[in-house]
């Protein structure tokens, strides 16, 4: 595949955000116990069994979450949205209205399992303030297209040196 085909096939970025949909207390406790057992089993005939128990506990914990996959808007569409939600004078707004743009971005980038009205009702009914901020920020982040914080500093230089 040539450069043109790769460029033309560029997909919009996506960003998963895991929402806790059930209590994690028991799953976290089971994981802690499995990890402790693994530490005690290292170097013994029980190690493989203990590793499997950790994997099972991790899978059980993962079942407590459901990912919401945000898909970026077209860059021009996002720029128009930013312009519609310009920073307000005499506020802490810098690049946009922090009270309105994140919510509107969320509504445009969330998967279409709900209508915008249903998403807002779900958020109001199930999410606390911190969860709302994280959801809205995830939708903005996929559009701003920032580099993932999990990549090490200077990662492009590391790649170039290989």
Indicate the average pLDDT of the chain.
Answer: 92
Q: Is-contact 129 137, C-beta < 8 A?
A: no
The owner of tokens 């996929």 is 142
Average pLDDT over residues 152-161: 60
Predicted confidence band of residue 32 (pLDDT cuts 50, 70, 90): very high
Using only C-alpha atoms, the chain has a radius of gyration, in whole angstroms, of: 21
Nearest to 131 by CA among 27, 24, 29, 21: 21
Q: Is the pLDDT of residue 160 over 90?
A: no
pLDDT 10s digits, 59-85? 999 999 999 999 999 999 999 999 999
State how far Cα 148 lies from the chain centre. Answer: 11
Kindly indicate the confidence band of residue 129, based on its pLDDT and cuts at 50, 70 and 90: very high
pLDDT in tens, 39-50: 999 999 999 999
Domain ranges of the chain: 21-67, 72-144
pLDDT above 70 as % of the chain: 90
pLDDT band at 1 (very low <50, low <70, confident <90, very high): confident
Summarize the chain as % helix, strand, coil (round to 5): 55, 10, 35
Greater model confidence, 156 or 58: 58
Residue 112: predicted pLDDT:
96
């Amino acid at each position: 595949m040539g450069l043109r085909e790769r460029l033309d096939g560029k997909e919009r970025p996506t960003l998963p955000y895991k929402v806790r949909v059930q209590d994690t207390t028991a799953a976290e406790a089971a994981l802690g116990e499995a990890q402790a057992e693994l530490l005690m089993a290292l170097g013994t005939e029980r190690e493989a069994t203990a590793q499997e128990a950790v994997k099972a506990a991790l899978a059980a914990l993962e079942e407590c979450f459901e990912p919401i996959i945000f898909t970026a808007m077209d860059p021009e569409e996002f720029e128009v949205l930013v312009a519609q939600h310009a920073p307000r004078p005499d506020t802490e707004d810098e690049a946009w209205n922090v009270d309105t743009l994140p919510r509107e971005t969320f509504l445009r980038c969330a998967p279409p399992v709900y209508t915008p009205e249903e998403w807002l009702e779900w958020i109001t009914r199930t999410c606390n303030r911190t969860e709302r901020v994280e959801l809205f920020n995830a939708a903005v982040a996929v559009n701003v297209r920032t580099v993932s914080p999990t990549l090490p500093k200077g990662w492009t230089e590391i790649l170039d040196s290989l």
